[in-house]
Amino acid sequence: MPAIDPRTIGTHLMGPLFVGDGVSNDIPTVSTVNVIDVKGYGAFGDGVTDDTAAIQAAIAAMPTTGGVLAFPTAIYLINASSVSGLHFNAKTNFRVVGNGSTIKVKNSAPVVGGQGMLYFTSSTDGSIEHLVLDGNRANRTVNFASPAGAYSIAVNDSCQRLFFKNVRMINGVIDGFTITTSAPGTASTYPTDITFENCTADNNVRVGGSVIHSVRTTIRGGRYVNTTGSAPQAGIDVEPDAGPSTGNTNLVIEDVESSGNAGVGFLIAGASANVNTGGTLRNLRGSNNALGFLSLANAKNYAVSSLNIGAHTAATRGIIDLGDASSTCENVHISDVTMTGITGGSAGIWVSTSCTVPITIEDIHIKDCSVTALQIEEPRTRLSGIRVFNVTSDPNVIINGARTVIRDLVIDGGTGRHLYIDGTDIEVNGLTSYNCASTDRVIQFTASATGGILRNVAVFQATSIPAGQIVVLWQAVPRIMTHVTA
């Protein structure tokens, strides 16, 4: 079959049909007779007329396999008052081409569970591109105490290989998108290989993107910002439902910003019986999330790297928070983190006692913060390559977890004690302290810190030693102290 010529699609088409990235081999080889122009089915696209029935008719006219649904550039008003909204069911090898169009829910449309915008079930190998979905929350009645599931995008039962690109989900009355199943006890129904690329979720009520039950979801690029209204108010929330289900497996989130949310920027959570397993989080950035940047409450075998975290003024515990009393946090590796301007919460990085080893944290740079840089409560945590600059909380670093091992720690400037240790059998091998301003002590092992090991320590003062400062205070009997220079 010949490739589609974008110039010949639909007599009402306004503007170009986007085809992948404009590369010729991205153009699908489907017959032009399979192209459905929504204006050809009666949609006005004037931002005034209710186009719901026309768009639903166009979707119904798509062939089961190989169809293209085209939206000429316009604003399409819908009422969102039919179950499943604009429903794509059992479609295969299809495309939805938005041409930058907006689908907007009209004023005063009801907010009812199941009555959302785009809804996908049992659909495979589809792409949805260059659309704006406007839930119009300012002009609809939302029950913030218990918001209904009127999702802007719902990817549901048995969907596979759906690709969303350059889609904006704004002003949603619950989630920007949700990925789930109506049969959480049946893993074969979990949406699989769903991708959101360079998408944006802005000003949604509950979360920007919600991953509830899935296999190999990928969220790549884009922004998930300004969620506010109903808990958890996260940018991206990965959280399986309780009950007979498994967690999300082999999740990838990369090159994403999450900022300005009233909850956590990235929340990996859920009940301990349904563990999220095998996740990769990398190249993430954000600032000013009210409850912190990243919470790994329910995560097993997760690799987290290359985080750039800007100013945050509050958090429940850590701006990066590992562990939750009701969940599982096990075998997590965090590396290459830059954190600046933290003024709220308990710590830059907090590792809870509910974590399960191994927890490894390395190559961390924390600067200009007024909270403790690291607070480690979990035994046997491994820390290396930690750089702490100008932290004004006392102490700068707190280690309470027994048998924690610290390699290559540098603390420069700030106020308060540089290192406070209250756990047993903790080893510090390689500590450099510059310009500690504490008039008390630089390093403290409390009476509970029995069996401590301190090796290869250098303490420098640029001008003079503050009056009353002690380099190392042992309140318990040390196991080893060697090569300490001050």
The residue written with tokens 């049969």 in the block is 183
pLDDT of residue 483: 80
pLDDT of residue 31: 46
Q: What percent of the chain has pLDDT over 70?
A: 93
| Model confidence pLDDT, tens digit, residues 54-97 | 999 999 999 999 999 999 999 999 998 777 889 999 999 999 99
The pLDDT of 250-277, averaged and rounded, is 95
- The pTM for the full model equals 0.92
Average pLDDT, the chain: 91
> Is the bond into 232 cis (omega within 30 degrees of 0)?
yes
192: left (phi over 0), alpha (psi -120 to 50) or beta: beta
List the beta strands (DSSP E) in 142-293: 153-155, 160-170, 175-179, 195-202, 207-211, 218-225, 234-238, 252-257, 266-268, 280-286
Report residue 21's pLDDT band, with 50, 70 and 90 as the boundaries: very low
Residue 211 structure tokens: 């991953």
pLDDT of residue 272: 76
Q: How far apart are alpha carbons 209 and 466 in whole angstroms?
A: 51
3-state secondary structure of 54: helix
3-state secondary structure of 145: coil
Q: Are 19 and 55 in contact (CB under 8 A)?
A: no
pLDDT of residue 33: 53
Cα-flanking dihedrals φ and ψ of residue 137, to 5°? Answer: -60, -30
Reported as half-sphere exposure (CB side, CA atoms, 13 A), residue 309 has a value of 33
| Model confidence pLDDT, tens digit, residues 117-155 | 999 999 999 999 999 999 999 999 999 999 999 999 999
Residue 209 has pLDDT above 80, yes or no: yes
Among 12-21, 82-91, 272-281, 373-382, name the most confident range.
373-382
Residues paired with 386 in a beta bridge: 364, 409
Residue 147 structure tokens: 């918001």
